[in-house]
């Protein structure tokens, strides 16, 4: 049973929703404090985030670097546009593979939901083709994770 | 009709994913694609052949050039891969659940 939904919307958007059993303040902090981000935003098992810059103020810089522990890795840079503690984050990000991919504009909302939080993250890409490419490159990590799970089951 | 397996293996290579990301910006020639990579044109051409056979790019002939762009089918196929991305994200957020539980229990201890 997955609590996550991920859908494309229109030509340029991707919308992710997820509920958490913690108040918006905690979920917001886990999205803006480097020491917390480094604990969960890791993708497949075995990956780490050795570098996490997250200057949570308008114009503040974002830089996440991921490593697979085998010499491989990639990074993401971005800037914060707007922050409303503990309900809304607007930022721009781009993957580097290693050339920069097109900008992804991301709006993340945290709303009280009974005793927890409903997170809604809307990504906006420049066009349908860019969105496709982004999903294609993100997919790789998901594939790796499912292969690992498969190996564990066999 | 390209198979999903061919598309999967075509995308298993980081250079080919980067080439797709480049083509997402618009049509490009082999020379334009090769430029940011420390790779020869024949090297890039080999990757393009894999992508073309997997149905992820299409090429047209313009004089001596063969410019490439993302195939429309790549977009619909990628929609089918959303499930895979969903799994990767789900893993991140399952981990976040643990982080949040830890934060909440620390807070409760602090109040005691």
Q: Are residues B44 and B67 in the same domain?
A: yes
**Which residues of B, range 64-93, sit inside 8 Å of A by Cβ?**
70, 74-75, 78-79, 81-93
pTM of the shown model: 0.70
Q: Which residue of B has its CA nearest to A18?
A: B93
Q: Are residues B73 and B93 in the same domain?
A: no
Chain B partners within 8 Å of A7 (Cβ) = 82
Q: Are residues B23 and B37 in the same domain?
A: yes
Chain A partners within 8 Å of B22 (Cβ) = 99
pLDDT tens for each residue of A107-123: 999 999 988 999 999 99
More confident residue, A127 or A18: A18
**CATH number for B60:** 1.10.10.10
Checking if the pLDDT of A140 tops 70, the result is no
Instruction: Give how far B56 is from chain A: nearest CA, Å.
Output: 10
B20 touches A: beta carbon within 8 Å: yes
Instruction: Give how far A29 is from chain B: nearest CA, Å.
Output: 9
Q: What's the total number of domains in chain A?
A: 1
Q: Are residues B43 and B64 in the same domain?
A: yes
Chain B partners within 8 Å of A40 (Cβ) = 92-93, 95-96, 98-99
pLDDT tens for each residue of B38-95: 778 888 999 999 999 888 899 999 888 889 998 876 666 656 656 666 777 888 999 9
Mean pLDDT of chain A: 84
From the list A41, A99, A139, the residue facing B85 with the nearest CB is A139
- Closest by CA position to A62, among listed A52, A49, A47: A52
Q: Are residues B64 and B38 in the same domain?
A: yes
Q: Residue B56's domain spans which residues?
A: 4-80
Q: Are residues B51 and B100 in the same domain?
A: no
Chain A partners within 8 Å of B84 (Cβ) = 139, 142-143, 146
């Amino acid at each position: 049973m997955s609590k996550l939904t991920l859908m494309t919307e229109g030509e340029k958007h991707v919308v992710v929703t997820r509920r958490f059993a913690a108040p918006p303040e905690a979920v917001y902090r886990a999205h803006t404090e480097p020491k917390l981000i480094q604990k969960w935003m890791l993708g497949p098992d075995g990956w780490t985030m050795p570098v996490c810059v997250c200057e949570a103020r308008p114009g503040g810089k974002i830089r996440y670097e991921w490593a697979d522990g085998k010499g491989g890795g990639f990074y993401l840079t971005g800037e914060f546009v707007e922050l409303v503690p503990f309900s809304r984050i607007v930022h721009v990000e781009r993957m580097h593979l290693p050339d920069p991919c097109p900008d992804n504009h991301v709006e993340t909302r945290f709303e009280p939901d009974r005793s927890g939080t409903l997170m809604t993250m809307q990504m906006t890409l420049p066009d349908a083709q860019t969105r496709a490419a982004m999903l294609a490159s993100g997919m790789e990590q998901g594939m790796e994770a499912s292969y690992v799970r498969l190996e564990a089951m066999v | 009709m390209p198979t999903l397996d061919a598309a999967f293996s075509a995308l298993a290579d980081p250079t080919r994913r980067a080439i797709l990301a480049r083509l997402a910006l618009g049509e490009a020639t082999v020379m334009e694609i090769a430029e940011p990579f420390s790779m020869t044109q024949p090297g890039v051409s080999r990757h393009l052949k894999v992508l073309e056979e997997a149905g992820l790019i299409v090429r047209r002939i313009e004089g001596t050039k063969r410019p490439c762009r993302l195939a429309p089918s790549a977009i619909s196929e990628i929609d089918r891969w959303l499930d895979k991305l969903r799994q990767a994200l789900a893993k991140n957020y399952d981990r976040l659940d643990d982080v949040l539980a830890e934060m909440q229990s620390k807070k409760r201890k602090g109040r005691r």
